[in-house]
């Protein structure tokens, strides 16, 4: 109980989800077309500040999940991380999203953020090749053929916590001839010198990436 009280105190002082976290669509009858399944559909009207790396951008509920985790006290294991990337590079990107990104409730606690663009996957590929270097993470893969884009982990910190994150993005053509883009930010946080624990991203930077694609391509989000 004492540890939870300390954790809550840290959250109240530092904030867990920074202002500007995106709103998501919940109604397919909102006039913006069908909702992409198995991901958080960004609401086009979401107002975002700039890409942000001075906060870890996790949700409020994430902190309690971190405190309840077991079996992850050794932090991230590089061998397991490498095995996962090999798996990514051998399988079709969308299948990976379905099997690994929390959608079965075993690997990750929250699905990726997503939207659609009424443009070609080639156009989105060109935009992402301009956007990925801005993130600051080393680029791991950028493959137009599979529609899989991803970065390495990078470590960041402020006085209250350390965190590491990476981005995994898929670009696929839907049956309705729209380009579906999903952005998953894999996040781990270490609070007060403890081991890194899996956390839930609040979607701020994921939404920023989707908004940047819209700006680069000139195609509105959700169209």
The one-digit pLDDT tens for each residue of the chain (223 residues) are 444 333 433 433 333 444 557 888 888 888 777 888 888 999 876 666 789 888 888 875 555 444 444 334 444 556 666 666 666 666 655 566 555 554 444 456 678 899 999 999 999 999 999 999 999 999 998 999 889 999 999 999 988 889 999 999 999 998 788 999 999 999 999 888 888 888 889 999 999 999 999 999 998 887 6
Question: Measured between alpha carbons, how far is 48 from 25 in angstroms, rounded to an integer?
Answer: 16
Q: Which two tokens stand for residue 154?
A: 């990078």
User: What is the reported pTM?
Assistant: 0.79
Q: Note whether 101 and 108 are within 8 A (CB).
A: yes
- What DSSP designation does 194 have? -
Q: State the CB neighbour count (10 A cutoff) for residue 145.
A: 8
* Structural domain contains residue 153: yes
Residue 222 falls within a domain, yes or no? no
Residue 223 inside a domain? The answer is no
Domain range for 26 is 2-217
In a domain, 114, yes or no: yes
Q: Is residue 112 part of a domain?
A: yes
Q: Is 126 part of any domain?
A: yes
- Count up the domains in the chain and report the number: 1
Q: Is residue 174 part of a domain?
A: yes
How many beta carbons lie within 10 A of that of residue 109, not counting itself?
A: 15
């Amino acid at each position: 109980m004492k540890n939870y009280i300390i954790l809550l105190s840290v959250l109240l002082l530092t904030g867990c989800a920074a202002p500007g976290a995106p709103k998501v669509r919940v109604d397919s009858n909102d006039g913006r077309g069908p909702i992409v399944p198995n991901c958080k559909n960004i609401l086009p009207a979401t107002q975002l500040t700039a890409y942000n790396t001075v906060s870890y951008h996790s949700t409020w509920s994430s902190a309690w999940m971190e405190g309840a985790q077991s079996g992850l006290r050794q932090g991230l294991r590089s061998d397991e991380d490498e095995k996962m990337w090999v798996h990514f590079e051998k399988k079709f990107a969308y299948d990976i999203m379905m099997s690994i990104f929390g959608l079965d409730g075993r690997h990750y606690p929250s699905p990726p953020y997503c939207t659609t663009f009424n443009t070609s996957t080639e156009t989105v590929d060109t935009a992402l090749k301009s956007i990925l270097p801005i993130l600051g993470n080393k680029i791991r893969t950028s493959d137009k053929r599979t529609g899989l884009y991803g970065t390495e982990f990078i470590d960041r910190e402020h006085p209250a916590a350390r965190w590491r994150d990476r981005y995994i993005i898929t670009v696929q053509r839907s049956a309705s001839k729209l380009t579906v883009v999903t952005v998953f930010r894999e996040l781990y946080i270490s609070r007060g010198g403890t081991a890194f624990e899996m956390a839930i991203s609040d979607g701020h930077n994921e939404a920023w990436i989707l908004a940047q694609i819209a700006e680069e391509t000139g195609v509105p989000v959700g169209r």
